Structure 1
Amino acid sequence: MISRFFFPDPLPHTGEIQLPEALAHHASRVLRLREGDPLVLFDGHGGEVSGILCLRGKSCFAELGGHHAVERESPLQLVLVQALASGDKMDWIIQKAVELGVAAVVPVQAERSVLRLSGERAAKRIEHWRQIAVSACEQSGRNRVPTVEPVAGLREYLARGHAGPRLVFDPVAGHRLASLPRPVDAMHLLVGPEGGWAEDELAACRTAACIGVGLGPRVLRTETAGLAALAALQTLWGDF
């Protein structure tokens, strides 16, 4: 496979550009690409640019070969509203959600979230998750990088309002994904933390007109539920 890289600035379609230091290090030192190897660059604004790697001393350049209007985005606008999960679970969730075509991720602080983030620590973690989203786009072929929003409290998120449907996953809910109509606007998927949503959080979701949805008779882990729902929705109405 031809190596793909996210370029942090708007890309010209032709000519030659110098690769940023981190990108150059990854290409030449980690992947061990050589002079003349093909590569693909994308800047997150749609499409991709083919190129050839050029090495000059410690610097790396790409000789660009034209823009290709390739889109691999899902026809569904799916937003994962994920309660903070502990350890490296959030890394896993964001990586796989991007691979499954999510349009954005909204991390929320829930009452039972083991992980607690605020201030500078939250900002650093968000930047880390954004880099995971970029890497997942490089791997999966996506040319538009999903947004990873700053951490918000659940009620803060609910107060923003939303034109499209918001689904809150609850093992005892009566609705099933297959019984819902195909979304016209962006659909938000609310996934609870390891201990599940608290009763007052579920009540707040109902007050905000969220639709309670179950994912079968089994209780899924927080790192499984959102990804299973994304895959199911892609099968129902997306590009699976």
Structure 2
Amino acid sequence: MTSHEAARSSSPDFGAQLAAGAIPILPFGALEQHGPHLPLATDTIMADGLARRIADEVGGILLPPINYGQTSDNAAFPGTITLSFDTVRAIAKDIAAALAAQGARGFVVVNGDFGNQAPLRQAAREISEQLGIGVLVVNYPGMAEIAAELCTTAPAGLGLYHAEEFETSLVLHLRPEDVRMELAVAEYPVYPPTFPAVLTGLDKLSRSGVFGDPRPATAALGATLMDRLADEAIELVNAFLLTLPVQDP
């Protein structure tokens, strides 16, 4: 199928795409530290990369990414700029309201940051209840299983994949010019027994901001990881599309 980039479409073209039933797809990223070797925009780069793959497969409308997110756990590191829970929730709801008013039959958000999960989940519930349109939040389905199968290094544990082999390989695939592998370091934090039940700044756990070992990362691995993530995400989105009302011809 053919996808459409909203930022490059005219107003009439955008309206025609919605009228034809195309689903808007929003990459929701963050601006936060990812160690000394990865760019602050890592989560946005990854979310946009996956959203593009989904849009190409389902003929969706790719919206411009949201470049900030709820990333207060990383706030002590320079360059991290966090939004509040309510701001993330409100951004998603406002965009959904504008799309619903223009006749969108559904809405997909591709989330690139762990901190966005809770506010986007709440936004999805409110969008469905208040606006009456279906919304799906995609949070890298199958990530842990894919990483366990394909990555060569051990994860840092507790579900944290941050600036290690998985993320570094994806950015090497998507934006290699922004990666400085000569600065990559490994760090495996020792978690306090209260973590993550008690909120702890990630700067207290990792001096470098890395959780795991990024040094074996390669662009080739990143391409394979993206293929696998895209397969899982596209299957999920296609299932979601079947729940939406069919557009009148």
Q: TM-score by structure 2 length?
A: 0.32
Instruction: Pick 1 or 2: higher relative contact order, CA cutoff 8 A, min separation 6.
Output: 2
From the two aligned structures, give the one with the greater helix fraction. 2
TM-score, structure 1 normalization: 0.33
**Structure with the largest fraction of strand:** 1
